[in-house]
């Protein structure tokens, strides 16, 4: 299951189906307020999103799942992995993969500015489409507001393998800023730098990200 960055939906992950089809079935998480759920009000609490997503996984009838989250989606993927750690859920998390995000504790301590330039969350290929940008910005703002209320709750570490990905050209964070992810799990942790990748890992970096995930899932 792939969880996108602020403002994004399931669409960015459609291209990954053929790339990952030999190791996994790809599901993109579509949160309220976007794409086919455009008329639904965006979620206002992380716990609501986690509970809704756990229910969706249960409805799919899966017994095992790998979780990928990018940017704000990485924090949600972590919280989802924590929720699924309950044996009563009956869903085994086989791997957690996160990209372009600080560890949850660091993210919560640093906070996130609700008055920042939201255009940084809009993929480059969409920035010259005014009508599309007009649709995206309110969704991004709602997601940023949601993440600004995130509170990290210490607890037992996960027991799942973890892959941490970051772009070599990311001007927001680098290897030092993502290092603390290894503390969230007792499982093996690997770090992967994508050459030429920016914060959103756009363009060719997006395909390299998919390949990194495919290798991690083999």
As a whole number of angstroms, the distance between CA 199 and CA 117 comes to: 14
Quote the pLDDT of residue 116.
74
pLDDT digits 0-9 by tens, 32-76: 988 899 899 988 899 999 999 999 999 999 999 999 999 999 999
Each as own residue / partner, the long-range contacts of residues 56-61 (CB below 8 Å, 24 or more positions apart, any chain) are 57/1, 57/84, 57/91, 58/89, 58/90, 58/91, 60/27
Please say if the pLDDT value at position 192 is more than 90. Answer: yes
> Mean pLDDT for the chain?
92
Distance separating alpha carbons of residues 38 and 207, to the nearest angstrom: 27
pLDDT tens-digit series, residues 81-130: 999 998 888 999 999 999 999 999 999 998 887 777 788 778 777 888 88
Predicted local distance difference test score (pLDDT) of residue 127: 85
| Residue ranges of domains in the chain, CATH in brackets | 2-217 (3.40.50.1820)
Alpha-carbon distance of 118 to 130, in angstroms, equals 14
CA angle (209 as vertex; 198, 91 as ends), nearest 5: 125
pLDDT band, residue 134 (cuts 50/70/90): confident
C-beta separation of 21 from 217 below 8 A = no
**For residue 180, is pLDDT > 90?**
yes
Q: How confident is the model at residue 158 (pLDDT cuts 50, 70, 90)?
A: very high
């Amino acid at each position: 299951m792939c969880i996108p960055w602020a403002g994004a939906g399931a669409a960015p992950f459609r291209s990954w189906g053929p790339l990952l089809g030999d190791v996994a079935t790809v599901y993109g998480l579509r949160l309220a307020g976007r794409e086919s759920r455009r008329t639904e009000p965006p979620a206002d609490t992380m716990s609501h999103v986690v509970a809704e997503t756990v229910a969706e996984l249960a409805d799919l009838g899966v017994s095992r799942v790998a979780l990928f989250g990018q940017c704000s989606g990485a924090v949600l993927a972590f919280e989802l992995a924590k929720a699924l750690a309950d044996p009563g859920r009956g869903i085994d998390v086989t791997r957690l993969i996160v990209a372009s995000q600080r560890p949850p504790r660091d993210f919560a301590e640093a906070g996130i500015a609700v008055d920042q330039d939201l255009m940084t969350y809009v993929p480059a290929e969409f920035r010259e489409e005014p009508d599309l940008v007009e649709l995206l910005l309110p969704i991004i703002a709602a997601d940023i507001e949601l993440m600004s209320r995130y509170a990290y709750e210490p607890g037992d570490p996960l027991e799942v393998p973890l892959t941490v990905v970051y772009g070599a050209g990311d001007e927001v964070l680098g290897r030092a800023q993502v290092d603390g992810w290894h503390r969230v799990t007792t499982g093996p942790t690997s770090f992967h730098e994508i050459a030429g990748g920016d914060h959103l890992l756009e363009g060719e970096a997006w395909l390299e990200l998919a390949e990194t995930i495919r290798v991690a899932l083999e």
